[in-house]
């Protein structure tokens, strides 16, 4: 009986999927085009999620908004960025048509001096086609600038984005000193399509005041998302045959 080996009893440890062990909070090694869909049209969770993904860099951020997303989601308020630990200068481009947003993002994605390009397009217009996203993705990979596309009010068409997230606000963490106040924000993040890693669902937590950069953004597996395989069998059973 292997359970009574000379080294003691063998415990039945569940075998974990690769996705749960990967450090998903760290962004991909190569900067790519990332699509982020808020679950509700006016939910700012997607914006917070994108800002939490940003890495520390010297260059400015290019932020492009079209008219509808300015009306529906509100304007970016840069004093609020400081609270999130984002110290980059923000070059803001406000245009009316999604076509101009895509053009400006493509120009920015080709400019290696920027630290990120963030674009917002509302409502999934025809201009935001597969070809447009493919162009953005190729530019981003060519220059090494991460490009994020916040697509609010968008059912989610075909896209060449290397990672596609769906983000929703959920009740925040308890406040450390005041039970009636909201604490650090939490989001439910679902990676529903990605290249080179399996999809999954996580709870994303953002604490901009954490001392270590790696602690500021964490993806925590949900208890019910099946990261532990259902047909889990002890290692000993497999090897024993």
Partner 1 sequence: MTSQYRTGPGDNVPVALSRDGPHGPVLHSINHAAHARGMQPGERVVDAQAIHPDLQVEPADLDGDHALMQRLMYWTRRWCPWTVQDADDGLALDVTGAAHLFGGPAGLLRDICQRFAMQGLTARVAMAPTRGAARALARYDPDLTICTGRDVAHHLAPLPVIALGLDQATTRLLTRLGLKTIGALADMPRVSLMRRFADLAVDRNPLILLDRALGRAPDPLNAPPDRPYFIARARLAEPVIDPVPHLKGLVEDLCTQLAQAEQGARHMRLTIYRIDSEYRTVQLGTARASRDPAHMLRLFDGKLVRMDPGFGFDLLTLEATRVEPVSLTQERLDGQPDSDADIAGLLDRLTARLGKDKVTWPTWTQTHKPERVEGRVPALTAAPAAPPALPRERPLRLLSPAEEVHVIYSVPEGPPSQFRWRRVVYKSARHAGPERIAPEWWLDRPSTRLRDYYKVEVQGGRRFWLYREGLLHDGRGGAPRWFLHGFFI
The site for partner 1 (CB under 8 A) is made up of: 40, 42-45, 47-49, 51, 58-60, 62, 73-84, 89-95, 100, 103-104, 107-108, 111-114, 168-172, 175, 178, 180-182, 185-186, 206
Angle between helices 98-109 and 130-143 (to 10 degrees): 20
Q: How far is the CB of 77 from partner 1 (least distance, A)?
A: 4
Residue nearer to partner 1 on the CB measure, 137 or 204: 204
Cβ atoms of residues 138 and 165 within 8 Å: no
Residue nearer to partner 1 on the CB measure, 88 or 162: 88
Token duo for residue 19? 């996705």
Residue nearer to partner 1 on the CB measure, 157 or 182: 182
Q: What is the dihedral of CA 70, 161, 102, 38, to 10 degrees?
A: -10
List CB contacts of 239: < 8 A, sequence separation 6 or more.
Answer: none
Q: How far is the CB of 49 from partner 1 (least distance, A)?
A: 8
Residue nearer to partner 1 on the CB measure, 187 or 191: 187
Q: How far is the CB of 107 from partner 1 (least distance, A)?
A: 6
Question: In terms of DSSP H, where are the helices of 84-234?
Answer: 98-109, 130-143
Residue nearer to partner 1 on the CB measure, 7 or 77: 77
- Cα distances from 164 to residues 18, 32, 56, 140, 150, in angstroms, run 19, 11, 22, 15, 10
Q: How far is the CB of 194 from partner 1 (least distance, A)?
A: 23
Residue nearer to partner 1 on the CB measure, 20 or 95: 95
Token duo for residue 238? 């497999």
Q: How far is the CB of 111 from partner 1 (least distance, A)?
A: 4
Token duo for residue 153? 């009010």
Alpha carbon distance, N-terminus to C-terminus of the chain: 13
Helix (H, G, I), strand (E, B) or coil at 94: strand
Q: How far is the CB of 186 from partner 1 (least distance, A)?
A: 7
């Amino acid at each position: 009986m292997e359970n009574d080996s000379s080294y003691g009893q063998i415990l039945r440890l569940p075998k974990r999927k690769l996705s749960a062990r990967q450090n998903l909070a760290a962004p991909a090694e190569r900067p790519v085009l990332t699509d982020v869909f808020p679950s509700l049209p006016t939910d700012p969770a997607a914006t917070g999620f994108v800002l939490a993904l940003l890495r520390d860099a010297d260059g400015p951020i290019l932020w492009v908004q079209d008219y509808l997303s300015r009306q529906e989601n509100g304007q970016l308020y840069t004093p609020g960025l400081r609270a999130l630990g984002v110290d980059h200068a923000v070059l803001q481009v406000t245009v009316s048509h999604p076509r101009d947003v895509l053009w400006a993002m493509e120009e920015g994605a080709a400019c290696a001096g920027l630290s990120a390009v963030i674009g917002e397009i509302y409502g999934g217009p025809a201009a935001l086609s597969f070809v447009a996203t493919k162009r953005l993705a190729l530019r981003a990979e060519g220059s090494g600038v991460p490009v994020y596309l916040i697509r609010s009010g968008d059912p989610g068409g075909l896209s060449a984005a290397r990672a596609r997230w769906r983000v929703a606000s959920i009740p925040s963490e308890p406040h450390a000193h005041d039970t009636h106040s909201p604490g650090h924000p939490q989001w439910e993040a679902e990676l529903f399509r990605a290249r080179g890693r399996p999809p999954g669902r996580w709870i994303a937590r953002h604490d901009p005041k954490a001392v270590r950069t790696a602690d500021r953004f964490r993806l925590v597996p949900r208890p019910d998302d099946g990261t532990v395989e259902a047909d889990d069998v002890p290692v000993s059973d497999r090897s024993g045959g």
